């Protein structure tokens, strides 16, 4: 596999309008919350905007509104749950991660679109559980319900702004802000390889959370995020896409580490989050590696935007990121081996039954 394959993209599939729309929806709340001294809610607002924007199914206004509303409410529940348990003991945090990760893995039964949105919610949950310890280091206590309300505000901000942008376009149907994906509505059978992979994925991510919270490792919260982002969502995803996820996760961690090391103003870091979100939105369908770089960088900066840093700290964060990536690669390799073994057994059974 060549580097050109990993980073190559079709210019016609770049969607700068989506990235810029996400940036506007992120920047305006940042400015308003900073002016009133309530920027502690911006991360929940920003990920409400970003993840609802990435989960937006496109298409007609009515179905879009219903989908965004349901996703927004579920995201608010995940926000409150994550922030509430984030300051609890490691056992509750780990158990909660098991439930969230397993459910969002098995939801593929109801279609790829719902599975993609579920994966976004898992990533947000992993960020949410890490926010209370991070802000506590700065003497700030987060209110779960107000953070949930902030997430809902972000979801609403995305829907309103994206609807306005779509309405102002001359040919919104021929060149939509969000590309509609009708194939995502098809259900997927929960085959044995899919279930096994979901369980392995759950064990890996939850194990990383248990290590980070159980041993009170201050920078290990990058590990479960890296494992979640780098791991391909299902065993059928192509080798190229899986490679792009791994490469994008590592690049996102490097970008986040460099920014956290060299930039010490939280508003400048917030601006970096906005720019990385633009990359994620613009390259969403153009190149999976660059899309993953933007999303991973955004998530990792968010984990430590309020914490001081130095070269040793960033070295540890990058180390835990690499460990998370290794965990993801190991799980994908194990799942692939189990799937081949199961397929071999089924083929032998069919051959035996045919010969008789």
Q: How many helices (H) and strands (E) does the chain have?
A: 13, 0
**pLDDT > 90: what percent of the chain?**
44
Asked whether the predicted pLDDT for residue 272 surpasses 50, the reply is yes
pLDDT at 12: 81
pLDDT at 7: 85
Asked whether the predicted pLDDT for residue 184 surpasses 60, the reply is no
**pLDDT > 70: what percent of the chain?**
87
CB contact at 8 A, 239 and 288: no
Q: What is the pTM of this model?
A: 0.87
Task: State mean pLDDT over 61-67.
Answer: 88
Q: How far apart are CA 114 and CA 109, in angstroms?
A: 9
Asked whether the predicted pLDDT for residue 294 surpasses 90, the reply is yes
> What mean pLDDT is reported for the chain?
85
Asked whether the predicted pLDDT for residue 350 surpasses 70, the reply is no
pLDDT at 182: 43
Asked whether the predicted pLDDT for residue 35 surpasses 80, the reply is yes
Contacts of 13 (CB under 8 A, 6+ apart): 285, 286
Asked whether the predicted pLDDT for residue 306 surpasses 80, the reply is no
Q: Binning pLDDT at 50, 70 and 90, where does residue 170 land?
A: low
First to last CA, the chain: 44
Asked whether the predicted pLDDT for residue 346 surpasses 60, the reply is no
Task: State mean pLDDT over 250-258.
Answer: 93
Asked whether the predicted pLDDT for residue 224 surpasses 90, the reply is yes
């Amino acid at each position: 596999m060549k580097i050109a394959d990993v980073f190559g993209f079709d210019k016609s599939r770049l969607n700068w309008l989506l990235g810029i729309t996400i940036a506007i929806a992120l920047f305006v709340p940042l400015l308003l919350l900073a002016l009133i001294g309530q920027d502690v809610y911006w991360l929940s607002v920003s990920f409400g905007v970003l993840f609802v924007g990435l989960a937006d199914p496109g298409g007609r206004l009515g179905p879009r509104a219903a989908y965004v509303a349901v996703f927004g409410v579920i995201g608010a529940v995940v926000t409150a749950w994550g922030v509430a348990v984030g300051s609890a003991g490691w056992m509750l945090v780990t158990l909660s991660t098991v439930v969230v990760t397993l459910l969002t893995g098995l939801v593929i039964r109801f279609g790829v679109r719902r599975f993609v949105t579920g994966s976004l919610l898992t990533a947000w949950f992993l960020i949410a559980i890490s926010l209370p310890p991070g802000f506590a280091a700065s003497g700030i206590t987060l209110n779960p319900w107000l953070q949930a309300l902030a997430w809902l505000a972000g979801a609403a901000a995305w829907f309103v702004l994206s609807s306005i942008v779509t309405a102002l376009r001359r040919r919104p149907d021929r060149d939509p802000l969000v590309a509609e994906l009708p194939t995502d509505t098809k259900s997927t059978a929960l085959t044995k390889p899919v279930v096994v992979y979901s369980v392995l994925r759950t064990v890996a991510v939850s194990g990383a959370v248990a290590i980070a919270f159980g041993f009170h490792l201050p920078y290990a919260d990058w590990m479960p995020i890296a494992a979640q982002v780098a791991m391909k969502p299902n065993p059928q995803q192509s080798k190229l896409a899986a490679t792009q996820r791994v490469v994008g996760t590592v690049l996102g961690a490097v970008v986040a580490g460099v920014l956290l090391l060299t930039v010490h103003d939280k508003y400048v870091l917030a601006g970096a989050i906005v720019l990385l979100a633009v990359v994620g939105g613009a390259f969403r369908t153009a190149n999976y590696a660059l899309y993953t770089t933007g999303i991973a960088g955004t998530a990792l900066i968010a984990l430590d935007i309020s914490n001081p840093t130095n070269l040793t700290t960033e070295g540890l964060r990058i180390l835990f990121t690499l460990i998370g990536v290794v965990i993801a690669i190991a799980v994908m390799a194990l799942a692939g081996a189990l799937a081949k073994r199961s397929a071999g057994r089924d083929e032998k059974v069919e051959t035996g039954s045919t010969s008789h």
